[in-house]
Structure 1
Amino acid sequence: MNRQLVSLIPVMLLGACASAPGDYPSLARRPIERVTGTLTPPPPQPAAIPVDPAVVRQIDSLLARVRAADAKFQAREGRVRQIIGAAASAARASEAWSVAMIALADLDAARSEGMVALADIDAIYAASRIEGEPASEAKAAREAANAIVAAQDKVIAGLQAQLVL
């Protein structure tokens, strides 16, 4: 009896699949599936917004601060190189090594003045980009200041490598 019941299951399942042809939905495209509409061109770009002269003056002032800090850095670099050259073979924590570390910290302080101004330039650049205002002046100043600070970083890294740390 069990076998008879099992053999009837496929017949019942096939019977459920058979129905009148009008009961199935059509596979033809429905009106909602048809591509319709028109393409509207994007709105015209607004005319170039002039940069606020006060912002330009502020950027110029900040870049001048970076350059002044670089001049201070350059003025101190020669003396620091001499001190570190004299302490290159000195033992760690010796008098010569300590004087060299202080001179290196003094050179790093000159670099940090430029980095503060660079951070302010970065803030102006970011604010301009967020607000959708022109940022070409800030970008140019930022790139110039980054180049100056990157060169200073290389000098300091080279001087640090001369000391036995």
Structure 2
Amino acid sequence: MIRAKARLLPLFLAAGLAACSSASQYPSLAYRPVERMTPVAPDPSDAPLPLPPASADLVSRIDGILASAKQADGTFATRRPIAERAVAAAGSARGSDAWLSAQVAVSALQASRDPALAALAELDTMYADARDAAPTQESPSAKSIDAARQQVQAQVNAQDEVVSALDARLGT
């Protein structure tokens, strides 16, 4: 059986190699006319077309998001003195009732930030979409979204500092 296969092996190899060759002409490796042409780059002095201004719908949507973030900041400002008093009353007795009450007050303070964080996330998404729509230059829509984004980001950063300071005083 093996000898029969060994006798047929040269035949199959010859047939396989014959299939790879052809008697036709191979293409020339000389330069083609298209390859001799110099590439034409766009003129850098051409100014890009101006992008349309931010739509009224976008401006009203941004205003609504900013109002939500401002309301969250007001709630945060209302709960901040309560949390600060609870943290001051807790002292350093970790695990005491006062310490647990302070933890609850700080948690309520952190929960009051949720609408501001949601507003920031929505503005981030809107900004990414606006930049995807006009990737080569910042559109007026993207600029107005970015301005609102920076405003809410500053508010969230200030809240982060307050919460971090309270957590540090509690030793958490």
Residue pair 1:114, 1:149 contacting (<8 A) in 2 also? yes
- What does residue 41 of structure 1 align with? 43
1:115 & 1:36 partners in 2: Cα distance?
Answer: 54
Residue from 113, 126, 142 that aligns with 1:135? 142
Q: Pick the aligned partner of 1:146 from 140, 153, 171.
A: 153
Q: Which residue of structure 2 lines up, in the alignment, with residue 75 of structure 1?
A: 78
Indicate the residue corresponding to 1:160 in structure 2.
167
Question: Deviations 1:134-153 (Å, cap 9, x if unpaired)?
Answer: 30110000000000000000
Q: 2: CA distance between counterparts of 1:110 and 1:68?
A: 10
SS in 2 for 1:135: helix
- Equivalent position of 2:99 in the other structure: 97
Q: TM-score, normalised by structure 1?
A: 0.73
Given candidates 71, 85, 106, the residue that maps to 2:88 is 85
Deviations 1:37-66 (A, max 9, x none): 665415541123121211111111101111
- Cα distance in 2 for partners of 1:40, 1:106 equals 58
1:75 is aligned with what amino acid?
T
- Taking CA–CA contacts closer than 8 Å with sequence separation of 6 or more, which of the two structures ends up with the larger relative contact order? 1
Q: Kindly state the Cα deviation for residue 122 of structure 1 after the two structures are TM-superposed.
A: 0.9
Write the distance in 1 (CA, Å) between the matches of 2:41 and 2:171.
Answer: 69
CA contact (8 A) 1:88 1:164 kept: no
- Residue identity over aligned pairs, in percent, reads 36
The equivalent of 1:120 in structure 2 is: 122
Q: Does 1:64 pair with 2:71?
A: no
Cα distance in 1 for residues equivalent to 2:39 and 2:154? 52
Number of aligned residue pairs: give it: 134
User: CA separation of 1:37/1:93 partners in 2, compared to 1, >3 Å: closer, same or farther?
Assistant: closer
Larger Cα-atom Rg: 1
Q: 1:37 to 1:162 in 2, by over 3 A?
A: closer
What residue ranges of structure 1 are gaps of 5+ in the alignment? 1-30
Q: Kindly state the Cα deviation for residue 95 of structure 1 after the two structures are TM-superposed.
A: 0.6
Which consecutive unaligned segments of at least 5 residues does structure 2 have?
Answer: 1-32
**Runs in 1 of length 4+ with deviation above 6 angstroms?**
31-35
- Amino acid of the structure 2 residue aligned with 1:123: T
- Give the C-alpha shift of residue 107 in structure 1: 0.2
